[in-house]
Structure 1
Amino acid sequence: MEHVISVGAVELCVDSFGAQTDETVLLVAGTSCSMEWWPARFCRMLADRGMFVIRFDQRDTGRASFDPPGQPSYSLPDLVSDAIGVLDHFDTGPAHWVGFSQGGWVSQLAALDHPERVRSLTLLSTRATGHGPADPDLPEVADSLLAAWDETSAEPDWGDPEEVIRSLIEGERSIAGEDFDEAHAHAIAESCVHRAHQIRSAVTNHPMADQGPRWRDRLGTIAAPCLILHGTPDPMFPFGNAEALEREIPRARLAGLEGVGHELPPRVWGRVVASISRHVRSASESS
């Protein structure tokens, strides 16, 4: 059952699935994403394979503490500390971190700065650098996505929940791969909008937050086994970003998700859950 916890001066909302005696899997969502972006059915699929699954609202999302829109008071390393605080609340040992997009950056930093808390990494649809321009050797956001952003640059009426929901759905459509699942996107967007303390802060603040020190040059020191799952036509972080992570993180293994964009559509949940389950089991047996 979800509940609000205090991590220092910050309130975060957490939720869990499965038996706490099983291996702990911490799900870290992407930019501006609350726990709803890890749907309960996906979490139960992991728990049914013998994992204790934790999801949570990051700062500025869902029922967590929030700053005024456009004024984030935290940095990316602070989001790492928040995630560690979530694990402390559940009194877990080392966890298996599953990070999507920005959550992948949080997970990489956790493995670098708190290796004793990271038993394994699964990096979904992410890259080795934070918000802002990619390194010159990494592929940038696809031209098609830049064009879509230009067409929808106006902010929605934040006082109109239905307009905000439509805006979020169109944002998901722009980063999707083949066979966009609009019903799935609508369900998540609707839940996020109606559940959030301040949806404008959720959408606005994460990309503006201080990214902290560069970490790509340290990836070679990551000791945790790493699985990388990445959509082959991802327009946000094209596939070359995943290939760079595989080259630069020791023991990393990359698996492409054909036809998947910068998303986690229900049609691939079975494969993703099976891959995470095998990875968690292998990492647990070798630790």
Structure 2
Amino acid sequence: MTTVHVHAIALGVESFGDDDAPLVLLVGGTTMLSWPDALCERLAAGGRRVVRYDLRDSGESTTADPETPAYTLRDLATDAAALVEALGDGPAHIAGTGVGGMVAQVAVLDHPGAFSALTLVGTRAVAPGPPDDDLPDHDQATMRRLFARPMPDWTDRDAVAEFAAAGAEILGNDPAAARAVAARVWDRTPGTAPPVQMANQMGMVFSRLDCTPRWRERLSGIGVPALVVHGRRDAFFPVGNGEALAREIPGARLLVLEEAATAIPDAAVGEVAEAMLTL
């Protein structure tokens, strides 16, 4: 892992594969560890240079004040394009998961010359907040269970990991995998202040971003090959959101993972990697 500086900020990055291979840029959602190691390794074995990175206010990237971020969704999209330029391997296949998928959509729309393909995993075409009337919202029963829990002691690594595991069980993900990733995220978080930990563990900073103007109405202008991956059991962004993206992005392929929720399970890594490699 290292950092790359783009327009006065640092972005934490990790690379897999041959530096001379075509670039796949994985946008963290919000940390790079949202992307499974096994998927990065499979893509690299398929002849790609894979770079995953942390969004601002997470991991090894610049951390300022997650409670009042002085940047917008479009700044994060510009970060992605600038990172491709700094790496010198463009145009790149950009992939975003969760909130990182929103960054990836705007990046392709605002900086089309920087990107050659687009993969969206477990995301939607509208910013945090109430969705459009035709898009399914978060499953409310699941959200009540998820957010009714008391916050952990953010200074306690084990408590934070157990909190993540319990949340994963509510969402339908693998608790053991979530526990292990949360411990790694905790180790990479610059301090135990609750806002910083929440930005890393829960992505709460994203709900405070300025995400205007809307971009959904521009999706028909995406001119690169696109793949939409969505878990059938996703209660956070129900699968109808992925189906809408696949309908509205010209020529997009929809891959529904029947046994998945919000995370890419180990059993689906090979299928997702193969779909990405054939874009």
TM range (shorter): over 0.9
CA-to-partner distance for each residue in 1:42-93, whole Å, 9 max, x for gaps?
2111100111101111111111111224121211111111112221221112
DSSP-derived class of the 1:120 partner: strand
Alpha-carbon separation, structure 2, partners of 1:175 and 1:14 = 28
Which whole-Å CA distance do the structure 1 matches of 2:171 and 2:199 have between them?
21
Specify the alignment match of 2:263 in structure 1: 263
Q: Distance between the aligned counterparts of 1:262 and 1:41, measured in 2?
A: 17
Q: What does residue range 120-269 of structure 1 map to in structure 2 within 5 Å?
A: 120-152=117-149, 154-176=150-172, 180-197=173-190, 198-202=196-200, 203=202, 204-269=204-269
Contact 1:17 1:47 in 2 (8 A): yes
Q: Which 5+ residue runs of structure 1 have no aligned equivalent?
A: 280-287
Amino acid in structure 2 at the alignment position of 1:147: R
Contact 1:125 1:237 in 2 (8 A): yes
**Offset of residue 169 of structure 1:** 2.2
Aligned to 2:80: 83
Q: How much does 1:189 deviate?
A: 0.5
Distance (whole Å) between structure 2 residues aligned to residue 67 and residue 165 of structure 1:
24
Give the CA deviation at 1:3.
0.9
Q: Find the aligned partners of 2:84 and 2:212 in 1 and give their Cα distance.
A: 22
Provide the C-alpha distance between the structure 2 equivalents of 1:200 and 1:117, rounded to a whole number of angstroms: 31
Residue 55 (1) aligns with residue 88 (2)? no
Specify the alignment match of 1:10 in structure 2: 9
Q: What is the distance in 2 between the residues matched to 1:155 and 1:71?
A: 20
Q: Structure 1 residues 108, 201: CA separation in 2 closer, same or farther (over 3 Å shift)?
A: closer
**Counterpart in the other structure of 1:112:** 109
Helix, strand or coil: the match of 2:143? helix
Give the 3-state SS of the residue equivalent to 2:153 in structure 1.
coil
Please give the alpha-carbon distance, in whole angstroms, between the structure 1 residues aligned to 2:269 and 2:31.
19
Look up the SS of the partner of 2:278 in the other structure.
helix
Q: Distance in 1 between matches of 2:26 and 2:93?
A: 9
In the TM superposition, residue 39 of structure 1 has moved relative to its aligned partner by: 3.2
Q: What are the Cα deviations for residues 208-259 of structure 1, in whole angstroms up to 9, with x where unaligned?
A: 1111310001111111111111111210111111111111111111121102
User: Could you say if the C-alpha distance between residues 201 and 244 of structure 1 is closer, same or farther in structure 2, counting changes exceeding 3 Å?
Assistant: closer
Q: Distance in 1 between matches of 2:48 and 2:207?
A: 31
Q: Kindly state the Cα deviation for residue 157 of structure 1 after the two structures are TM-superposed.
A: 2.0
Where 1:104 maps in the other structure, the secondary structure is helix
Residue 284 of structure 1: aligned partner: none
Letter in 2 for 1:51: R
In structure 2, what residue type is equivalent to 1:42? L
Q: Secondary structure at the match of 1:15?
A: strand
Taking the aligned partners of 1:216 and 1:78, their CA distance within structure 2 comes to: 18
Counterparts of 2:147 and 2:114, CA distance in 1: 41
Aligned equivalents of 2:168, 2:76: Cα separation in 1: 23
Counterpart-to-counterpart distance in 2, 1:225 and 1:74: 29
Moved segments of 4+, more than 4 Å: none
Cα drift, residue 9 of structure 1: 1.9
Where in structure 2 are there 5+ consecutive unaligned residues? Answer: 191-195
Does 2:37 match 1:44? no
Instruction: State the alpha-carbon separation in 2 of the partners of residues 12 and 34 from structure 1.
Output: 11
AA aligned to 2:235 is P
Q: CA deviation at 1:150?
A: 4.1
CA shift, 1:267, in A, is 1.5
